[in-house]
Amino acid sequence: MKTTFKFSLIALLATSAFACTEDTPEPVVPLEAILVEDLAAPNDVIDRTTGQVTEVKPFQFFSLEENALVAENEDWDLAFKGTTIRVNASKNVTAAVVTGIFNEIAEVPASASFATDSGESFAIPTGSGNGWYNYNSATFTVTPIPGRVILVKTTDGNYSKIEILSYYKGNPPAAELNPMTTPSAHYTFRYILQPNGTTTF
Amino acid sequence: MFRINLNKIILLFSLTVHSVFAGSDIVKQIRDEKGSPIPHATVQAKGSPAIVVDKDGKIQTELAESESILIFALGYEPLQISWEDWIAQDIFVLKEKAGSLQEVVVAATRTDRTVEDLPLPVNVLNEKSIQETGGIRLSEILREQTGLQISGDHGTGLQMQGLDSDYILILLDGEPLIGRTAGTFDLDRISVSNIERIEILRGPSSAIYGSEAMAGVVNIITKSTEEETRLDLGLRHRSFNSWNPYADLGFSKGKWSTKLFYDYMSTEGYDLTPELIGQTQNPYQAQTIQLKINGKLHPNWDVGLFGRGYLENSTGELETSGTSGSELLNLDNSRRDFNFNPTLRFTPNSKILMTLRGMSSWFSTVADTRFNSDGGIFDFQDFNQFYHRTELQTDFQIKENQLLTLGIGHLIETVEATRYEGTNRFDAGYLFLQHQWDPGKKTNIISGLRADFHSQYGNRLSPKISGQYRLTENFSWQASVGAGFKAPDFRQLLLNFNNAAAGYYVFGSTLAQEGIEKLQNEGLIARILLDPANLGDLKAESSWALNTGFRWKVNPKFLWVGNAYRNHINDLIETAPIAQLVTGQNAFSYFNISQVITQGIETDLSYQATGNLQLSVGYAFLDTQDAEVLDRIDAGELFKRDAQNRTRRVVRSDYGGLFNRSQHSGNIKINYQDQWTGIDFALRAIYRGKFGFADLNGNLILDDESEYAPGWVSVNLTASKTLKNGIFLEVGATNLFNVQTTFEPTNPGRVLFAGLKIPFANLIQTK
């Protein structure tokens, strides 16, 4: 896994307009979008004839604050395995899935319903079409649903927005992807973390 | 000219039975422009019954003297001559009609009418046009027709007016064929060696046929015996080591005729993806046996018996990734199909015809998949379907220009399969009424109404009205408005399926509540997305359609036909999740969700350049859209990602409609008979435009250039010759330039073929 800083975002008009009305204007720091590439999170091995799990794989625990994989007992925000993404319920991490364009989401919408994982449901719903991906049973391909953005309130109480770009190694363009040969369960995503605790990005 | 046709049925039928072989010195012959005899032409002295010529186009009967003689044959311009000319000449030449407006169509009205009398978009493929494709299976004939597409999805399915195989009714001699896999009727189950003609009726025909006839109807008419004896043996060989021997045996004596047909097909199949284990088409062997008996019990009573059996076995390999890496699987699949249709026809007088039909069909499949290593069972599926229908149809000639048809029937359908619990049964009854009316010389109107009463999905009324107006002798305009519907099938109502490997469930709508409760009791449900108790019953999919077109005989050699259509389909059934499981997977059921529109234009031009050269051009434009997708685009809820991973909203101009639809398609056909050698050449170029094959960018709709498969042209050439003694030889190639695409698994690339047919009875008789 490697992390790069590729995307930058100009501070939002709303924020700057608000800032201008202050007597002592704060310098506007553009938030950087962080690109995480090829986070490998292999799924359990399933015997296809019986549906039984024959080999359990571990979740991969990721901290948005640190932009790094961490241990399960550390302050992780998200955990990945196969197409499942958990949030850290024990540290009160919550998440919501909203529809929109990543760059256009300037603020956590009031309508976003944040939830955490429970024994019965996931904050980021699993299953094709429910959460962040569609599964095409004709081409056997998992594709992130364009326009789905995951909002996460981290262990530190900061908001971040995440867009998952690819489930396949090397983030191949859709047309070049062969689900039979390209390794899956390799997440590429980008996110912006607002470290000051506000709901704007 | 024949008008309303009850008379004609009786006329043709009685003619077939009373073939005339009276001894006489007078021999006259009816020929076409190429000098070949026209079998089954009729010669009628004014005021006397018509007489059918024999298979050599000869008539040996003395006609009663009258003022004029009419010589008539389907597909030819009728010839009217004086008594003096009839006496003076021995050979009479009929001119071939451009196009096929004189062909008789049964499918459109369930009575015999010629194409040009029908206010509906209909065309007929006769034996000659079937033969010149060199095809062995039905799909190979239909794929060359304007506006029809063949697509591979659980079999070789047909697409008509932008609608899939599920919505097209396939009839064999007027009776529905059953046995669909995931909605697709596999056209490769039908051998064409004994097909006399194929009627293709476009637009909804639920007003007479009920369910399934939403996009249209294909009626396959098998040959009947007209000769005293017939024994045709044929053999065809083609690429992929395919062999197709067949025998066609027929004899008729007095009031009875019998026809027996046997066809064997064996192929090694083909593979478009050799890098993967398993072939695109697996090797298979198929046998068809068919028996047809017709007879006259009494001058007013006719009886018919039809039986057909089909047996197919295929084998193949497949690779699966299991616990210990990938494993090889052996597939052993079989399909059986058996039909039995007795018919009783009663004509108490020339105004009434009553037809009682029984029809029973059995269809079964077995799919046995085993591990190659130890022969252990990987998967076993069987499926058994039974369908029975009894129907009484009464045709009543009210006046010379009005024909009323009344039908009443009931049907029983049962299914028993691995994926369904127990034996399931549907019962249905129906009534239909049809009125054919020629109010004036220039106008004809057909109106129909059918009521279906079904044990599972309730009652339905399907009306249809169509009319034709002849602006001039050579130009007619047609329009029709009709309703179509498709009943939910067994799968949509009764499926009880658990995909163990992927961990999801699919329940038919009637089992959804029970299935979800069971999963709930087992603690497997995380949350209910839609409460199955509130879902209500699954409704039939329904449509309204408008068809309007023209037929224009520009001049005697030039025919132009066209039709524009628009189908509005409501309550389209699709799967959607109803509950989320604790594993994160879903349980699905079937719902009436979508609204779809298909619309387009189809046109054919044919030109008889000379007696031995014919040209034709066909073009089809198709536009399809899912109304729900358009709503979501307008609401800004659909997004796409470009190659640089930038997300943006989908706009209407991105949307390409339904998958697997070609906006443009067409064909060019050239038929030429070489006068020196007598060889018939049929050269066809069939174009299928680009079409969407799958969603790649994750928004599930067709909206990106990468989601289209490229179009292609298949160039097909057949050369055939019928020798003087009747032996028929053919050689040719389909897809001459070997244009292959993995996006269309039913297109194997280049296929070479050669064939031979020997009419033994003919050979013996002529010696």
Contact B584 A173 (CB under 8 A): no
**Once rounded to an integer, what is the mean pLDDT over residues B439-447?**
93
Where along chain B do the CATH 2.60.40.1120 domains lie? Answer: 6-93
Q: Which two tokens stand for residue B199?
A: 């009627």
Contact between B9 and B112 (Cβ < 8 Å)? yes
A172 in contact with chain B, both atoms CB, cutoff 8 A? no
pLDDT (mean) for B102-123: 88
Flag if A121 and B643 touch (Cβ within 8 Å).
Answer: no
Q: Which residue of B has its CA nearest to A53?
A: B323
By C-alpha distance, which of A152, A145, A84, A147 is closest to A115? A152
Task: Pick the closest to residue B548 from B108, B123, B202 (CA basis).
Answer: B202
B447 exposed, middle or buried (CB, 10 Å; 0-12, 13-18, 19+)?
A: middle
Residue scoring higher pLDDT (B65 or A88): A88
End-to-end CA distance of chain B: 40
Q: Which residue of B has its CA nearest to A178?
A: B696
Say what the pLDDT of residue A48 is: 63
Q: Do B696 and A143 touch (CB under 8 A)?
A: yes
- How far apart, in Å, are the Cα atoms of B620 and each of A58, B642, B735? 55, 32, 20
- β-bridge mates for residue B708, sequence order: B692
pLDDT greater than 60 at residue A16: no
Q: Is A126 on the interface with B (CB under 8 A)?
A: yes
Tell me how far apart the alpha carbons of residues A15 and A37 are, in angstroms, rounded to a whole number.
30
- Residue-wise burial string across B460-489, b where 16 or more C-beta atoms lie within 10 A, e elsewhere: bebbbbbbbebeeeeebebbbbbbbbbbbb
The topology under which CATH files domain B222-272+281-322+334-766 is: Maltoporin; Chain A (2.40.170)
Rounded Cα distance between B706 and A141, Å, is: 15
Q: What percent of chain B has pLDDT over 90?
A: 54
Joined together, the tokens standing for residue B472 give 């001039």
Task: For A163, name the nearest residue in chain B, comparing CA atoms only.
Answer: B647
* Residues in B lying within 8 Å of A, measured between beta carbons: 276, 320-323, 378-379, 500-501, 503, 526-527, 577, 580, 582, 584-586, 637-641, 643, 645, 647-649, 694-700, 704, 706
Is the CB of residue A56 less than 8 Å away from at least one CB of chain B?
no
A112 band by pLDDT with thresholds 50, 70 and 90: confident
Residues of chain B with CATH 2.40.170.20: 222-272+281-322+334-766
**Minimum-distance CB partner of B527 among A120, A134, A163:** A120
Contact B443, B468 (CB under 8 A): yes
Taking the CA of residue B134 and the nearest CA in chain A, the distance in Å comes to 33
Query: Where in B271-401 does DSSP place strands (E)?
Result: 284-298, 301-322, 325-349, 352-371, 377-399
Q: How far is B501 from chain A (nearest CA, A)?
A: 4
Which residues make Cβ contacts (< 8 Å) with residue B687, sequence separation at least 6? Answer: B664, B665, B666, B667, B711, B712, B713, B714
pLDDT digit string, tens, across residues B705-718: 888 999 999 999 99
B706: which chain A residues are within 8 Å (Cβ-Cβ)? 173-175
Q: To the nearest whole angstrom, how far is the Cα of B693 from the nearest Cα of chain A?
A: 10
Strands of B674-727, DSSP E: 680-688, 691-692, 708-709, 712-722
Out of A119-123, A138-142, B62-66, B580-584, pick the least confident.
B580-584
Model confidence, pTM:
0.84
CB contact under 8 A, B698 and A133: yes
Q: Does A129 contact chain B (CB < 8 Å)?
A: yes
Mean of the pLDDT values across residues B42-65? 82
pLDDT at B18: 39
Distance from CA of A138 to the nearest CA of B (A): 8
Residues of B in contact with A51 (CB under 8 A): 500-501, 503
Option in A51, A171, A177 nearest B501 (CB): A51
Q: Is the pLDDT of residue A129 over 90?
A: no
Chain centroid to Cα B472, Å, comes to: 32
Contact B640 A146 (CB under 8 A): yes
Token pair 């699987």 in the structure block, residue:
B329
Q: B437, B445 in Cβ contact below 8 A?
A: yes
Backbone angles phi, psi at B292, to 5 degrees: -135, 120
Model confidence at B2, pLDDT cuts 50, 70, 90, reads very low
**CA–CA separation, B328 vs B317, rounded Å?**
7
Least confident of A16-20, A189-193, B503-507, B618-622: A16-20
Look up residue B463 and give its amino acid.
Answer: P
Among A103, A126, A191, which would you mutate to test the B interface (most chain B Cβ atoms within 10 Å of its Cβ)? A126
The answer to whether A48 contacts B501, with C-beta atoms less than 8 Å apart, is yes
Q: Exposed, middle or buried, B676 (CB in 10 Å: 0-12/13-18/19+)?
A: exposed
Q: How far is CA B399 from CA A125, B117, B404, B438, B479, in A?
A: 69, 17, 10, 10, 24
A174 close contact with B: CB closer than 8 A: yes
Residues of chain B with CATH 2.170.130.10: 104-221
**Would you call A163 an interface residue with chain B, using a CB distance cutoff of 8 Å?**
yes
In a mutational test of the A interface, the residue from B328, B697, B704, B708 whose CB has the highest number of chain A CBs within 10 Å is B697
**Which CATH superfamily hosts domain B6-93?**
Carboxypeptidase-like, regulatory domain (2.60.40.1120)
How do residues B162-201 score in pLDDT, each as one tens digit? 999 999 999 999 999 999 888 899 999 999 999 999 999 9
Subunit contact B500:A50, Cβ cutoff 8 A: yes
Backbone angles phi, psi at B519, to 5 degrees: -65, -35
**In this structure, CATH architecture of domain B104-221:** Beta Complex (2.170)
- Is A84 part of the contact surface with chain B (CB cutoff 8 Å)? yes
Can you name the residues that pair with B322 across neighbouring β-strands? B325
Domain ranges of chain A: 38-190
What is the distance between the alpha carbons of residues B281 and B278, in angstroms, rounded to a whole number?
9
Helix-, strand-, coil-residue percentages of chain B, each rounded to 5: 10, 55, 35
Report the C-alpha gap between B749 and A111 in whole angstroms.
55
Check if the beta carbon of residue B464 is closer than 8 Å to that of residue B480. yes
Share of chain B above pLDDT 70, in %: 93
pLDDT of residue A53 exceeding 50: yes
Q: Do B699 and A146 touch (CB under 8 A)?
A: yes
Both structure tokens of B203 = 């637009």
For A148, which residue in chain B has the nearest alpha carbon?
A: B639
Q: Render pLDDT for B563-606 as a digit per residue (tens, 0 to 9).
A: 999 999 999 888 888 887 777 678 888 888 789 999 999 999 99
Under an 8 A CB cutoff, do B647 and A147 touch?
yes
Mean pLDDT along residues B353-377: 93
pLDDT > 50? residue B16? no
Residue type at position B677: T
Neighbours of B184 (CB within 10 A): 19
Contact A48, B329 (CB under 8 A): no
Best of A37, A105, A143, A189 to mutate (most B CBs within 10 Å, chain B): A143
Helical (H) or strand (E) element with A194: strand A184-194
Distance in angstroms (rounded) separating the CA atoms of residues B374 and B168: 43
* pLDDT for A14 beyond 50: no
Query: What separation in angstroms does the CA of A113 have from each of A163, B445, B639?
Result: 17, 61, 21
What is the pLDDT at residue B73? 81
pLDDT at B422 over 70: yes
d(CA A26, CA A20): 8
- Residue of B585, B641, B706 lying closest to A127 (CB–CB): B585
* C-alpha distance from A83 to closest chain B C-alpha (Å): 9
Locate the chain B residue with the closest alpha carbon to A172: B643
Taking the CA atoms of residue B32, residue B38, residue B44 and residue B50 in that order, the dihedral angle to the nearest 10 degrees is -160
Chain A CB contacts of B325 below 8 Å: none
Structure tokens at B422: 């127990």
Predicted local distance difference test score (pLDDT) of residue B435: 95
CB contact under 8 A, B500 and A180: no
Residue B454, φ and ψ in degrees, nearest 5: -125, 140
Could you count the other beta carbons within 10 Å of the beta carbon of residue B214? 31
Number of A/B CB contacts below 8 angstroms equals 102
Q: Is A118 exposed, middle or buried (0-12, 13-18, 19+ CB in 10 A)?
A: exposed
Q: What does chain B come to in residues?
A: 767
Q: What phi and psi values does residue B83 have, to the nearest 5 degrees?
A: -60, -40
Residues of chain B with C-beta less than 8 angstroms from the C-beta of A144: 698
Residue B141, helix vs strand vs coil: helix
State mean pLDDT over B495-508.
81
How many other β-carbons are positioned within 10 Å of the β-carbon of residue A179? Answer: 15
Q: Sort B253 into a burial class: Cβ within 10 Å, 0-12 / 13-18 / 19+.
A: exposed
B565 with B599: CB under 8 angstroms? yes
What φ, ψ does residue B216 adopt, rounded to 5°?
160, -170
- Residue scoring higher pLDDT (A27 or B611): B611
The C-alpha atoms of residue B343 and residue B212 are separated, in whole angstroms, by 23
pLDDT band at B147 (very low <50, low <70, confident <90, very high): very high
